[in-house]
Amino acid sequence: KKVRIKHYKDIERRCAELLSKGDVVARCKGRMEFGARALGNRSILANPNNWKTVKIINEMIKMRDFWMPFAPSILAEYADNYIVNPKGIKAPYMIMAFDTKKEKLDSIIATTHPYDESCRPQIVEKSWNLDYHRLIRYFHELTGEAAVLNTSFNLHGLPIVYTPYDALYVFDNSGLKYLALGNIMVEEEF
């Protein structure tokens, strides 16, 4: 791929701008995450309000079945607007399913299960991941929505990216067009 590389003081704002326009952005920043889900530091992010996003990401990189839902990352201070959570469960790891509030279903449709419209959110607290929280907050300022689609940054069948080298390998061997690598944006030239 032929690419352009640019350093940003506030890469989170640039990511939010791209997401708000419907672009898909891979993000590799900060500490590696370990566990069942990507939590923002090794993630592929997208605008969750368009069901076509699922097809775009699957064709670009994931090759998943259509019925395997992606998950939303939702700012903690707005979580009650999106999910039914009467017990106020924190849910930071995308391992618990919640019913989606009907009035917000269209806002996060690409992250809901097609059968029952439930979602498996990551509720993002500012104190847990300040940069990722800021990215979603910028997205909220641009779109009015406090949630982004989040899925693991990896090629189908491979582990989640670990190093910048891994991130560049996946970027180069997929249909991804934007990679936020630390505070550097790698953009495919069109």
CA 90 and chain centroid, separation: 18
Per-residue pLDDT of 85-135, as tens digits, reads 999 999 999 999 999 999 999 999 999 998 899 999 999 999 999 999 999
CA-wise closest residue to 100 among 136, 77, 72, 75 = 72
Q: How many other C-beta atoms lie within 10 A of the C-beta of residue 47?
A: 25
Query: Residue 67's pLDDT is what?
Result: 60
Measure the CA–CA gap between 189 and 75, rounded to whole angstroms: 32
Strand, helix or coil at 37? coil
Query: Residue 149's pLDDT is what?
Result: 98
The confidence band for 66, taking pLDDT boundaries of 50, 70 and 90, is: low
Per-residue pLDDT of 154-182, as tens digits, reads 998 899 999 999 999 999 999 999 999 99
Domain-wise residue ranges, the chain: 3-188
Measure the CA–CA gap between 28 and 153, rounded to whole angstroms: 8
Query: Residue 51's pLDDT is what?
Result: 87
Judge whether residue 39 has pLDDT over 80: yes
Q: What global pTM score does this model have?
A: 0.96
What is the CATH number assigned to the segment(s) 3-188?
3.90.870.20
